[in-house]
Structure 1
Amino acid sequence: MGKRKRNERIGALIKILSHQPNTVFTLNYFSEAFEAAKSSISEDIVIAKKMLEELHLGTIETIAGAAGGVKYVPLVTPERAGFFLEKVCKKLEDPQRIMPGGFIYMTDIISSPSMVETMGEILASQFLNQEIDYVITMETKGIPIALMTAKALNVPLVIVRKNSKVTEGSTVSINYLSGSSNRIQTMSLSRRALKEGAKVLIVDDFMKAGGTAKGMMDLINEFKGEVQGIGVLIATREPEDKVVEHYTPLLYLEEVDVKNRRIIIAPNPKITTKI
């Protein structure tokens, strides 16, 4: 890159780190790239870290040791999460989104790269203290959110199939009860997709009774894996007793009143409230 001024170095440093969240870069990497002394790079990092934290745009962590360096962590504060999720709620509460059967049209929301990137960062922020090897999701509309969560955590995304594919080789398949359709369905996963004993975060777009999430938990058990958490974009308030006990929704769907054309949806207060 050549020798650069401090403001140029800081701008490039933030771009490089934020483009690859939770990826460790050594001081040598930046020192060589910017043709600057390590002491200067260290000062740049302190300035960048302070600026990101003041603007609630994440943080930069330092990893000590021979293999150490720095990494960008897309930590979303409760204030920023609340502001974003309130905007999502306003979009989703548009009566024009009500579809036959009481469903809500939200394809445009979960197909927006900028929106799902923030959703993924918010979900990832809830599990930063967990050891996670993979993010896993069903081949449904939840894939974009799961992908962005995996990016924020810097782990691979694994997609569970509704039907096994010849191109994925030997698979493990199980039957599960879908909470939304109340029907027995099948899900499968390639034996090569997960390492035995892997620690996994499940991500989905919608949860009603939790049947799909429970199915993925059972499937992960076949690999002797460990579920570290379940994150969803929207969970319904009813039924209150779901088949999974611990899950983290970004939003709660309170009511879809088809007759009066009204949708009531709210952010999860556990995410938007500062502890």
Structure 2
Amino acid sequence: MTKARRTERMIALTKFLTERPGHLFSLNHFCELFGAAKSTLSEDIVTIRQAMEQFAMGSLETVSGAAGGVRFLPLRSQDGTCAFLHELAEKLASPERIIPGGFLYMADILFTPDLMVQVGEIFFSRFSHLSPDYIMTVETKGIPLAFMTARAFNLPLVIVRQGSKVTEGPSVSINYVTGSGKRIQSMSLPRRAIPPGARVLVIDDFMKAGGTVRGMYDLAHEVDVEIVGTGVLVGTAQPQVKLVEDYLALLILHEVDQQRKIVDIRPAL
């Protein structure tokens, strides 16, 4: 293979690392790929790390030892997070998003990859210290958000079903009561989806009273896994007391006034 010049090598290195957050690349892999010595690659990595940290684009972590290497961590700065959440709140505050019944239309936001990549990186920045093994969400609208969070962590995503699917084999099912409507619903998780003892981070798009997340907590208990944290994109200000106590909401929805066409939604961080 033709030996790469330094500029070409650094561009390719950055591309490889940022495309797979959390993946540990061995230096030997890059040595063979670029025809460069480890000492040369180490200098490149230092330069890339300094540039990323200078522009708050994340960081590079090096792991020593025979099984070591380098990986990209999509850590977001507090200033960058606040600016992004203010922009997102402005998008969601549009009166055109009000749906009859006092609901807020969010589907276009949730299914915009660029936005959900950034939200996933914010959750990574807030929860990486908890060292989860899996990301968990409930079908349906929360899937893109949870998937991008799983990408930021480089972890598998586990999807809790509303009901069960015969194609997924034996499942554990529970009934739960929705926090707002007080309706009884069911959710299930295939037994093969997650091993006992795993550490799980729950991610969801919206929380009002917390009934759905509470159901995931109860289901996790049934399959003997530990919930280490919970993150939601939007949480409501009311009711103040939720069915789950320890959670992180990025945005707080204070009011949706259908008659006055007012949406009051603000960043929580």
Give TM class, smaller chain: over 0.9
TM norm structure 1: 0.96
Measured against aligned partners, the alpha-carbon deviations of 1:116-154 in whole angstroms (never above 9, x if no partner) come to 111111111111111211100001200000000001001
In structure 1, the partner of 2:166 is: 166
Q: Does the aligned pair in 2 maintain the 1:236–1:253 contact within 8 Å? A: yes
| Offset at residue 8 of structure 1 (A) | 1.2
In structure 2, the partner of 1:231 is: 231
In structure 1, the partner of 2:55 is: 55
The reply on whether 1:156 has 2:156 as its aligned counterpart is yes
Q: Does the aligned pair in 2 maintain the 1:196–1:224 contact within 8 Å? A: yes
Aligned with 2:129: secondary structure? Answer: coil
**What CA distance in whole angstroms lies between the structure 2 residues aligned with 1:180 and 1:12?**
50
In structure 2, the partner of 1:177 is: 177
Unaligned runs of 5+ in 2: none
**What CA distance in whole angstroms lies between the structure 2 residues aligned with 1:54 and 1:180?**
45
Task: State the identity as a percent.
Answer: 51
**What amino acid does structure 1 have at the position aligned with 2:140?**
T
Measured against aligned partners, the alpha-carbon deviations of 1:208-227 in whole angstroms (never above 9, x if no partner) come to 01110010011011111110
RMSD between aligned residues: 0.9
Q: Does the aligned pair in 2 maintain the 1:174–1:186 contact within 8 Å? A: yes
**What CA distance in whole angstroms lies between the structure 1 residues aligned with 2:2 and 2:126?**
39
**What CA distance in whole angstroms lies between the structure 2 residues aligned with 1:64 and 1:175?**
47
| Offset at residue 180 of structure 1 (A) | 3.5
Measured against aligned partners, the alpha-carbon deviations of 1:181-229 in whole angstroms (never above 9, x if no partner) come to 3211000010000100110000000000111001001101111111010
Unaligned runs of 5+ in 1: 270-275
The reply on whether 1:76 has 2:69 as its aligned counterpart is no
| Offset at residue 2 of structure 1 (A) | 3.5
Q: Does the aligned pair in 2 maintain the 1:92–1:106 contact within 8 Å? A: yes
**What CA distance in whole angstroms lies between the structure 1 residues aligned with 2:49 and 2:259?**
51
Of 2-11 and 18-27, more deviation after overlay is shown by 2-11
Aligned with 1:127: secondary structure? Answer: helix
**What CA distance in whole angstroms lies between the structure 1 residues aligned with 2:16 and 2:232?**
29
Runs of 4+ aligned residues of structure 1 deviating over 3 Å after TM superposition are none
**What CA distance in whole angstroms lies between the structure 1 residues aligned with 2:7 and 2:236?**
47
Measured against aligned partners, the alpha-carbon deviations of 1:210-266 in whole angstroms (never above 9, x if no partner) come to 110010011011111110100101000111110101001111111111121000111
Residue correspondences, number: 269
Aligned with 1:11: secondary structure? Answer: helix
**What CA distance in whole angstroms lies between the structure 2 residues aligned with 1:89 and 1:113?**
17
The reply on whether 1:26 has 2:23 as its aligned counterpart is no
| Offset at residue 47 of structure 1 (A) | 0.3
Q: Does the aligned pair in 2 maintain the 1:2–1:33 contact within 8 Å? A: no
| Offset at residue 6 of structure 1 (A) | 1.1
**What amino acid does structure 2 have at the position aligned with 1:233?**
L
**What amino acid does structure 2 have at the position aligned with 1:65?**
G
Of 154-163 and 174-183, more deviation after overlay is shown by 174-183
**What CA distance in whole angstroms lies between the structure 2 residues aligned with 1:153 and 1:197?**
19
